[in-house]
Amino acid sequence: MLPNKIKETVKRFRMLEPGDRVVISVSGGPDSVCLLSVLHALAAELKISLHIAHLDHMFRGKESADEARFVDNLARKLGIPATIERIDVPAFCRARGLSPQAGAREVRYSFLNRVAQATGAGRIATGHTATDQAETFLMRLLRGAGVAGLSAIPPLRGNIIRPLIESTRDEVLEYLRGAGLTFVTDPSNAKPYYARNRIRLELIPVLKRFNPRIEETLASVAGLLRDEDEATAAHLATAMQCIITNGKDVTSLVRDKFNGLPLAFRRRIFRAMIAMAGLNPSELSLVQTDEALAFMATSQSGRSLSLPGGLQLVREYDQFVISAASTAQGFSYALTLPGTTIITELNLTVETQLTEKKEEYPVGENNLWQAVFDYDKIDPFLTIRSRRPGDTFCPSGMGGKSKKLQDYLINNKVPRRQRDRVPLLYAGADLMWVVGYRTDFRFLPGPDMKRALVVSVTMTGTRQEC
């Protein structure tokens, strides 16, 4: 009997606990009516309470309004509280450029979670069946999905449970006939406009000629792949902690450790890296994924590869970095002496001071960087700016030789994406400090210094007033 089968599914996947309040998504179609009927029959045994949620998506005018009334009447008949709302999903889709399916799904789950929160429900039950599982498996297989995609619809994800996931639609219809229950039919499900409908109406009937139980078979395969996917993810969790670093603006991984892994692991870790960077891995095709892996296997330092979502993948010496495509803008600020200047592009504050003796220059605990120069050796017109072609200086501790800034940054393995963000302190036409890296020896304090220029750099907002 179907109720017993569903009860076993609930038990196997630990979907419910005694005392749970469950929001049931009821569209009025056969699957959701069956789900509602079975959970209502099992409520006392499972010690759960129910709340019905129905959303009129306003796609089909009077038909969808009639479905809302049908659900309302069903809730009254069963004595189950219900929340029924109307949302203009077509307008929502137009405003956000979404397909009807994607927009409806986003709005529907937002609605269900809102109802669950309002009613204190810890679970949301949806009517996905083994038939839906088989259709999803085939749809993703035809698109070229990997193991994670072919895992299809999980029985339990977060607060969403799917008690019918091991039951076919034929079993659902047989149960409804035996129980004398009516339901509404969405006529759009019979139109071969969408890929899922064509799979249901055209492909699955053909496959049933070879395997009459094809839906159960494909659903079982999806379950096996899901188990393997979860096991692989658990196995790689520790490895990913050693390889991937997720920062505020960039996500990076260690090149040698990554390229030493088997291809299947590299593919999975790369997609995890993509997700950490804020891009849905489903937006990356298998071809794009393998193109990125090939790039990561052969690229030289400084090379980059464009990714969807305005991201770029960059080889930076011994690591790979995913970040937003560079939109770096030049900056230049005249510094007052003494005084304070905020570099808004870098969120830095630069403070300049004059002291009479080297030994008396102040040291601030919040300083990121601080440097001292002989004021009488420099042009008093101070600027701080980003790099430009032709920048050169004489790095201290390097024998007094002039060096191109570009070569210095490369030799010190400053990532390409950071080079335009390195502040340069100029005195007139002379570069006297590559801030955070090296000063120019020509302007450093000597034994005869009379006045010291002290330049301190802090993060904006971190200075403490006494």
Task: Say yes or no to pLDDT of 320 above 90.
Answer: no
Give yes or no: residues 182 and 281 share one domain.
no
| pLDDT, position 260 | 86
Q: Which of 263, 289, 324 is the last residue before a domain boundary?
A: 324
**230 within domain boundaries:** no
Give yes or no for a contact between 11 and 17, defined as CB atoms under 8 angstroms apart.
no
Confidence of residue 362 (pLDDT cuts 50, 70, 90): low
- Name the DSSP letter for residue 208: H
Q: Which pLDDT score is estimated for 466?
A: 26
Same domain, 380 and 306: no
Same domain, 86 and 189: yes
Rounded to an integer, what distance in angstroms lies between the CA atom of residue 245 and that of residue 254?
Answer: 9
Verify that 156 and 24 share a domain, yes or no: yes
What distances in angstroms separate CA 355 from CA 149, 335, 384, 450, 453, one per listed residue?
Answer: 66, 17, 21, 9, 7
Same domain, 148 and 114: yes
Q: Does residue 440 sit in helix, strand or coil? A: strand
Say whether both 300 and 405 belong to one domain.
no
Centroid of chain to Cα 175: 41
Q: How confident is the model at residue 461 (pLDDT cuts 50, 70, 90)?
A: low
The 3-state DSSP class for residue 438 equals: strand
Q: How far is CA 338 from CA 70, 341, 350, 380, in A?
A: 77, 10, 11, 11
Highest-confidence segment of 109-113, 148-152, 288-292, 461-465 = 109-113
What CATH number is attached to the domain comprising 350?
Answer: 3.50.40.10
Percentage of the chain modeled with pLDDT above 70: 92
Q: Does 456 score more than 70 pLDDT? A: yes
Are 200 and 57 in the same domain?
A: yes
Tokens of 256: 């040698």
**C-alpha–C-alpha distance, residues 201 and 193, integer Å:** 11
Residue 359 domain boundaries: 332-459
Instruction: Check whether 247 has a pLDDT greater than 70.
Output: no
Give the end of a domain, one of 224, 255, 279.
224
Does 238 reside within a domain?
Answer: no
Provide the pLDDT for residue 363. 54
Tell me, yes or no, whether 265 and 336 share the same domain.
Answer: no
Domain for residue 89, yes or no? yes
> Which pLDDT tens digit goes with each residue over 378-407?
988 999 999 888 899 998 877 778 989 988
Residue 52 DSSP SS3: strand
- pLDDT value at position 76? 95
Q: Check: CB of residue 71 under 8 Å from CB of residue 54.
A: yes
Residue 117 inside a domain? The answer is: yes
280 and 160 in one domain? no
Residue 197 in this model has a pLDDT that exceeds 80? yes
Which of these, 9, 373, 313, lies nearest to 156 by C-alpha position? 9
Inter-residue contact 126 to 25 (CB < 8 Å): yes
Residue 229 lies in a domain: no
Dist CA 53 CA 32 (whole Å): 11
CA 430 – CA 263 distance, rounded (Å): 51
Is cis: bond before 338, omega within 30 of 0? yes
pLDDT, tens digit, 9 for 90 and up, residues 224-243:
999 888 888 888 887 777 78
Mean pLDDT over 58-76 rounds to 90
What pLDDT, in 10s, does the model give residues 166-196?
A: 999 999 999 999 999 999 987 777 776 678 8
Residue 234 counted as domain residue: no
**Contact present, 427 and 385 (Cβ < 8 Å):** no
Of 374, 306, 346, nearest to 435 by C-alpha is 346
Section 320-348 average pLDDT: 80
* Mean pLDDT, residues 356-381 taken together: 74
Same domain, 149 and 28: yes
Question: What average pLDDT does this structure show over 142-148?
Answer: 77
Strands 82-86 and 49-56: parallel
Mean pLDDT of 31-37: 96
- Does position 361 have pLDDT exceeding 60, yes or no? no
Largest CA-CA distance found in the chain, in angstroms, rounded:
103
405 and 342 co-located in one domain? yes
Question: Alpha helices of 23-129 — where are they, by DSSP H?
Answer: 30-46, 62-78, 89-96, 100-119
Q: Could you give the percent of the chain with pLDDT greater than 90? A: 41
Q: Taking residues 345-351, report their average pLDDT.
A: 84
What average pLDDT does range 264-288 have in this prediction? 80
What pLDDT is recorded for position 436? Answer: 85
For the segment 259-269, the average pLDDT, to the nearest whole number, is 87
pLDDT above 50 (res 463) = no
What's the pLDDT at 301? 81
Mean pLDDT for the stretch of residues 199-224: 93
Residue 465 binned pLDDT confidence (cut-offs 50, 70, 90): very low
Q: Do the domain assignments include residue 242? A: no
pLDDT score of 75: 95
CATH number at residue 264: 3.30.465.60
Closest-CA residue to 456 (of 380, 364, 393): 364
- Tell me which of 286, 306, 324 is where a domain ends: 324
CATH of the domain at 40: 3.40.50.620
Helices (H), 194-254: 195-198, 204-210, 214-243
For residue 122, which of 156, 154, 151, 84 has the smallest C-alpha distance? Answer: 156
Q: Are residues 54 and 198 in the same domain?
A: yes
For the chain, what is the mean pLDDT? Answer: 86
Number of domains the chain is built from: 3
| Structural domain contains residue 239 | no
**pLDDT band at residue 93 using 50, 70 and 90 as cut-offs:** confident
pLDDT at 122: 94
Asked whether 71 and 44 are in contact (CB, 8 A), the reply is: no
- pLDDT category, 464, cuts 50, 70, 90? very low
- Is residue 221 exposed (0-12), middle (13-18) or buried (19+ Cβ within 10 Å)? middle
Task: Taking residues 413-422, report their average pLDDT.
Answer: 76
Q: For the whole model, what pTM was predicted?
A: 0.62
Average pLDDT in the 345-358 region? 81
**What's the pLDDT at 167?**
95
Q: What is the mean pLDDT of residues 437-442?
A: 90
Residue partners of 268: CB distance under 8 A and separation at least 6: 148, 232, 233, 236
Average pLDDT score over residue span 335-349: 86
Q: Which of these ranges, 78-82, 268-272, 277-281, 295-299, has the smallest mean pLDDT?
A: 277-281
